[in-house]
Amino acid sequence: MLFLLMPLLPFSCAVNPVTGQHELMLVSEEQEIGIGKESAPSLMWEFGGPYHDRQIEAYLESITRQIWQRSERPHLPMKFHVQNTSVPNAFALPGYVAITRGLLAEMQNEAQFAAVIGHEAGHVMARHSAQRLSRMTLQQLGLAVGAAAFEGRSGGDALLQVGAVGSSLLLLKYDRGQEIQADRLGVKYMAMLGYDPLQAIYAHNVLEKAVNDYLRRMGKSKDEDSFVSEMLSTHPRTDVRISEIQAMINELPPHTVRGDGRSAERFQAETKKLREINKIYFIYDEAENHYRKENFSAAEKSVRKALEADSSQASFHNLLGFVELQQKRYSDAEGAFRKALSLDNGYQPSWYGSGLVRFFQEDYRQAVREFKKSLDLYPGHAQTHFGLGKSYFNLRNYPEAVPYLRNFAEAAPRHPEIHGLLGICYEKTGDLRSAVIEYNNQLKVAPDTELGRHARKRLTALAPSMK
Q: Please give the span between the terminal C-alpha atoms of the chain, in angstroms, as a whole number.
A: 35
Q: How far apart are CA 284 and CA 246, in angstroms?
A: 38
| Residue 185 and residue 41 share a domain | yes
Q: How far apart are CA 396 and CA 412, in angstroms?
A: 23
Report whether 103 contacts 210 (CB < 8 A): yes
User: Residue 261: inside a domain, yes or no?
Assistant: yes
For residues 247 and 228, which has the higher predicted lDDT (pLDDT)? Answer: 247
Residue 271 carries which DSSP code? T
The predicted model scores a pTM of 0.87
User: Residue 205: inside a domain, yes or no?
Assistant: yes
User: Residue 5: inside a domain, yes or no?
Assistant: no
| Residue 346 and residue 250 share a domain | no
| Residue 316 and residue 252 share a domain | no
CATH of the domain at 394: 1.25.40.10
The string of pLDDT tens digits covering residues 422-444 is 999 999 999 999 999 999 999 99
Residues of the chain above pLDDT 70, percent: 81
| Residue 311 and residue 257 share a domain | no
**Percent helix, percent strand, percent coil in the chain, to nearest 5:** 65, 5, 35
| Residue 394 and residue 262 share a domain | no
Q: What total number of domains does the chain contain? A: 2
Q: How far apart are CA 457 and CA 410, in angstroms?
A: 25
Pairing state between β 80-83 and 96-100: parallel
User: Residue 411: inside a domain, yes or no?
Assistant: yes
Mean pLDDT of 341-355: 98
Worst-scoring range by mean pLDDT, 20-29, 66-75, 410-419? 20-29
pLDDT at 134: 56
Whether 148 has a pLDDT exceeding 80, the answer reads no
| Residue 256 and residue 216 share a domain | yes
| Residue 69 and residue 206 share a domain | yes
The string of pLDDT tens digits covering residues 352-380 is 999 999 999 999 999 999 999 999 999 98
Pairing state between β 22-24 and 13-15: antiparallel
Largest CA distance in the chain: 83
The Cα-based distances of 319 to 277, 300, 306, 375 in angstroms read 17, 9, 11, 19
User: Residue 350: inside a domain, yes or no?
Assistant: yes
| Residue 406 and residue 332 share a domain | yes
Worst-scoring range by mean pLDDT, 122-126, 155-159, 447-451? 155-159
Average pLDDT in the chain: 87
Q: How far apart are CA 45 and CA 65, in angstroms?
A: 23
User: Residue 2: inside a domain, yes or no?
Assistant: no
Total residues belonging to the chain: 467
Q: Which residues span the domain enclosing 412?
A: 300-466
Mean pLDDT of 334-349: 98
| Residue 259 and residue 358 share a domain | no
| Residue 341 and residue 226 share a domain | no
With b meaning 16 or more CB within 10 Å and e meaning fewer, what string describes 22-44? eeebbbebebbebbbbbbbbbbb
User: Residue 445: inside a domain, yes or no?
Assistant: yes
Question: Which among 270, 290, 316 is the end of a domain?
Answer: 270
User: Residue 294: inside a domain, yes or no?
Assistant: no
User: Predicted confidence band at 168 (pLDDT cuts at 50, 70, 90)?
Assistant: very low
| Residue 306 and residue 220 share a domain | no
Q: How far apart are CA 144 and CA 407, in angstroms?
A: 11
| Residue 315 and residue 200 share a domain | no
